[in-house]
């Protein structure tokens, strides 16, 4: 009888510990995160193009290991050939990411696809579009780094028959609350 009770107690403890451990690792991934980093933007318009550096800040919320929400602000400064002169603009993005966060001991690695809306502003030029991108986020305890690329097209209006093509590459470092 003692062996049966001991066996049942051991199995109950094992299953409850496993379920607590699984929920803790799942809950460790869900939550608010904030970061800042470096942004590199390549802009093309017809035969003119430029690559400019900027600053990026982001705020995100990971719903679970598959879905996340993101808002970011990126500065874009430089020149675009002889088409529009100096560029002193910024892009605001709001979107979702979809992937899967793989868990290993104390860290997560999440490759993802991102989709959302972007609003670009520069002097008297304001345009909105849809963006798409790919990325990977690494999280160790509460600290994370995110490497992502995204692309979108904007109507150049009367300045050209071509569209602006924006390609962003960014790396951010942040804290997961």
**How much is the CA Rg of the chain, to the nearest whole Å?**
22
pLDDT at residue number 78: 65
Does 69 score more than 70 pLDDT? yes
Tens of pLDDT, residues 101-155:
998 888 999 999 999 999 988 777 788 899 999 999 999 988 999 999 999 988 8
Does 98 score more than 60 pLDDT? yes
CA atoms within 13 A on the CB side of 139: 25
pLDDT at residue number 159: 58
Distance separating alpha carbons of residues 58 and 137, to the nearest angstrom: 13
Helix, strand, coil abundance in the chain, percent, nearest 5: 20, 65, 15
What residues contact 170, with CB distance under 8 A and at least 6 apart? Answer: 37, 38, 39, 40, 56, 72, 74, 146, 147, 148, 149
The band of 76, judged by pLDDT with boundaries at 50, 70 and 90, is: confident
DSSP state of 106: T
DSSP state of 11: H
Q: Residues 80, 82, 85, 87: what is their CA dihedral angle, to the nearest 10 degrees?
A: -10
Distance separating alpha carbons of residues 24 and 32, to the nearest angstrom: 16
φ/ψ of 47, rounded to 5, equals -95, -5
Chain center to CA of 51: 21
Average pLDDT over residues 4-17: 42
Range of weakest confidence among 19-28, 62-71, 94-103, 153-162: 19-28
Average pLDDT, the chain: 80
Does 41 score more than 80 pLDDT? yes
Average pLDDT over residues 56-83: 85
pLDDT at residue number 86: 62
């Amino acid at each position: 009888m003692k062996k049966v009770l001991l066996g049942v107690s051991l199995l109950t403890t094992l299953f409850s510990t496993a379920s607590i451990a699984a929920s803790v690792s799942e809950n460790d991934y869900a939550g608010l995160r904030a970061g800042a980093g470096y942004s590199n933007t390549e802009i093309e318009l017809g035969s003119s193009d430029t690559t400019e550096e900027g600053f990026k800040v982001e705020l995100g919320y990971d719903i679970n290991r598959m879905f996340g929400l993101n808002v970011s602000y990126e500065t874009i400064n430089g020149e675009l050939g002889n088409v529009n002169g100096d560029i002193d603009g910024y892009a605001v993005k709001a979107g979702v990411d979809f992937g899967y966060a793989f868990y290993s001991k104390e860290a997560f690695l999440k490759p993802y696809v991102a989709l959302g809306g972007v609003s670009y502003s520069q002097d008297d030029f304001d345009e909105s579009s849809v963006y798409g991108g790919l990325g990977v986020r690494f999280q160790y305890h509460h600290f994370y780094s995110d490497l992502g690329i995204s692309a979108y097209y904007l109507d150049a209006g009367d300045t050209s028959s071509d569209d602006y093509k924006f390609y962003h590459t960014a790396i951010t470092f942040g804290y997961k609350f």
